[in-house]
Homo-oligomer: A and B are copies of this chain.
Amino acid sequence: MNEIRILKTQGKARAGELNTQHGIIQTPVLCPVGTQGSVKTLTPQDIKDVGMHMILANTYHLYLRPGIPTLEKMGGLHKFMNWDGAILTDSGGYQLYSLSKLRRINDDGVIFRSHIDGSQHTFTPELAIKYQESIGADIIMVLDECIDHNESRERVWAAMVRTHQWAERCLKVHNKAGQALYAIVQGGVFPDLRKISAEYLTALNFDGYAIGGLSIGEPKNVTFDITEQTVGLLPADKPRYLMGVGAPEDVVECVARGIDIFDCAMPTRVARNGALYTPTGRVDIENAVYSQQDSPIDATCHCYTCRNFSAAYLHHLFRSKELLAYRLATIHNLAFMSNLVQSVRNSILDGTFSTFRSEFLSQYQTTDEKTRISQKQKWLDARENKTLYEA
């Protein structure tokens, strides 16, 4: 249980199978985000229909609502949300950093106020494991300390050391058969700290290794470089998980650097803002150019949305703020990502990944038009982040 079987490699890219309590997950894999026990707008059947079999949920959110006692009474998150695929839970480290107010962090843990009602709570490494055992995810994460990407080396060092201590405490108390526990390599944008962190944690023999603290504002080449360097320090026989990364081009680039598992709120979040993926890049469905397009948004796509509805209808639903819009767009973007990851995997298996990679990236270009959309998207993302916490 919990091991990864590597079927084929091409360069650093790997195609494999991850064994979980809820089935074998083909890797590389992207987990859509179901923060509060729901991948926004979708039923569990919808998630499977787009070709996805592992989702991410957030311990921080589930702890606050519905609460651990409710989840225990309901028999865990799988049963509560009626999902029989695999679940990965984040420990809460990132949400304590990004969402909660008035944090006080010390070596024992984090005292924070709920972003919902301001009530005071405490997370410790031991409690984070206890809560994740109650939630019953297939893969759980150690509690880590996250900090801003532009913090000083001293602060990054201190957070890293604390993350290591907490990882050891998590490992010590974790006691649920079949449930995998992954460590999180920290060290910010400092290669020497990443090396120290990777070496410290790999000596402890976790079930898998995540790379944390990336894609939080640093330049993209830094994300790629630190990912590549850190992967080189991780054991080949364990799964490698890059946290919070999942834009189409980033997935392709980071598979090329040896990543097996991704999670990202972006495909679903931008979908709800009307930004739809196509092989040539993101398009804004509210753009007037789609108001009369009788064909689907992406003629090459076989998703439920593209099989049944024209771009003009989606345009109308978004302009009219019809709730159906958000579901249809979410289905399309997740199907696009599922198809992309599957194509990446197939190309690794048949030895054509490097060709696939260069062809995809040359097609999926940022044009001037795309840049404008991207600017609007940043604004939309920021707006939605204020009201719909998801990452």
Contacts and interface: CB of A to CB of B under 8 A. Distances in A.
B82 A320 contact: no
Interface string A294-337: 10000000000000111011011101111110111000000000
A132 B322 CA distance: 22
Given A43-B308, A74-B294, A82 B38 contact: no
A291 B70 contact: yes
Q: A interface, by DSSP: helix, strand, loop or mixed?
A: loop
Given A73-B292, A82-B309, A323-B326, 14 more contacts: A36-B316, A36-B320, A38-B317, A38-B320, A40-B322, A43-B328, A66-B291, A73-B294, A74-B292, A74-B294, A80-B310, A80-B312, A82-B308, A323-B327
Contact of A324 (B42, B66, B292): B42
Contact of A322 (B36, B308, B320): B36
A37 interface: yes
Interface string A153-169: 00000000000000000
Contacts of A80: 310, 312-313, 316
Contacts of A322: 36, 38, 40
Q: State the oligomeric state as a number of copies.
A: 2
Max chain B CB contacts within 10 Å: which of A38, A313, A315, A316? Answer: A316
Nearest to A313: B80
Contacts of A66: 291, 312, 315-316, 319
A372 interface: no
Which interface class (under 10, 10 to 19, 20 to 34, 35 or more) fits A? 35 or more
Given A310-B80, A313-B82, A323 B74 contact: no
Nearest to A319: B65
7 interchain residue pairs of minimum CB distance: A66-B316, A41-B323, A38-B322, A36-B320, A38-B324, A82-B308, A40-B323
A81 interface: yes
Contacts of A323: 40-41, 323, 326-327
B292 A65 contact: no
Contacts of A82: 308-309, 313
Contacts of A317: 38
A319 B312 CA distance: 33
20 contacts: A36-B320, A37-B316, A38-B317, A40-B324, A41-B323, A42-B324, A65-B319, A66-B312, A70-B291, A70-B292, A70-B316, A73-B292, A74-B294, A74-B312, A74-B313, A80-B312, A80-B316, A82-B308, A323-B323, A323-B326
